[in-house]
Amino acid sequence: MLTTGVFGKAARPESVLAIIFAADLVLGAVLEGLLLPLLRRLKAGQSIREDGPKEHLKKAGTPTMGGIAIIIPIALTGFALSRLYPQERYSFMWISLCALLYGLIGFVDDFIIVVKKNNEGLKPKQKLALQILVAVIYAISEYHYGHMVYVPFFGASVNLGLLTVPFLAFVMVAMTNAVNLTDGLDGLSSSVTIAAAGFFCWEFFSGSSAPKDFAGSAMAAAVMGSCAAFLLYNRHPAKVFMGDTGSLALGGAMAAIGIAMKLDLFLPIAGGIYVAEALSVIIQVYVFKTQNGRRFFRMSPLHHHFELGGWSEWRVVLTFTGVTLLLDIIAALAL
């Protein structure tokens, strides 16, 4: 299988994806190294919630907004490849824009909190409204181009008609916020995202009847490379946090990749950890409000439940990443 438009007349896609991964890994690592001293000078330190795990209090002041160095390689890769692969320009541009725009929402929120020292940041309704706006615009564009949803295990694609717009907007906003909730331990969000993006990168080479979208797989490789670079600085003990800048950007990128590949329904499978994290918060709030302050989990999101149960951060990260790899296999069987 060959792709055209990048190195001469043709290039093997696996070689192209490997180069994309390596390029984003190197660029992300260099940018993070340059960004970290700047964040320290700005005193852009993370504030730690006092009702969280006590072990996390020592992380107070660790620079945040490191997600800037995640967004830039992903966006540059998408914009560059949209010119090298004009036939895939639509997907490359939208995935890049979603990562950039969601990252910008997170950046504004982080900037207000950590630089302007305003603990409120963007109001929840403001953040949600901006997220929905981006999601609806992308969903309308996909509806215009006749978006089809590939159904896991059934090997068939379905056109949802007018329901495409609210469905895709929900997928976009839900996935973005689920990834945001997963960012709570050193290396957790990066590791899980590398594993989840790996499925979408690999899917291009599967022999299944599922839709094949080179742009989606290429951008998944870019996400993997950028996350791997960030992990060099964010592994325990973390030197920097990605903040909402990075977590919202990754959520937007992952959602856009799934949508571009017409594998929307595979996002909650390969990204099952994201879903579990989000559900744990919903369940915790529901039980707390309806049962006189009782808690279902020791603490939510889910990773804190295991932490308070005696698990080390490393154990939670390795377990959640391992579970994601198993979910990747289930997703592959569902193609």
Kindly report, residue by residue over 293-326, the tens digit of the pLDDT. 889 999 999 999 999 999 999 999 999 999 999 9
Residue 330's pLDDT band (boundaries 50, 70, 90)?
very high
Q: Specify if 7 maps to a domain.
A: no
Q: Specify if 283 maps to a domain.
A: yes
Which of 105-119, 241-255, 264-278 is predicted with the least confidence, judged by mean pLDDT? 105-119
Kindly report, residue by residue over 25-74, the tens digit of the pLDDT. 999 999 999 999 998 888 776 666 656 666 666 677 788 899 999 999 99
Residue 7's pLDDT band (boundaries 50, 70, 90)?
very low
Domain count, the chain: 1
Q: Where are the alpha helices (DSSP H) in the chain?
A: 13-41, 68-84, 89-110, 124-144, 164-182, 188-203, 214-234, 243-260, 267-270, 272-290, 302-308, 313-333
Burial string for 21-60 (b: 16+ CB within 10 Å, else e) reads bebbbebbbebbeebbeebeeeebbbebeeeebeebeebe
Q: Specify if 35 maps to a domain.
A: yes
The predicted structure's pLDDT at residue 2? 46
CA distance 245 to 232: 18
The predicted structure's pLDDT at residue 207? 81
Name the residue with higher pLDDT: 270 or 121.
270
Its domain, for residue 309, covers 13-333
At 67, which amino acid appears? G
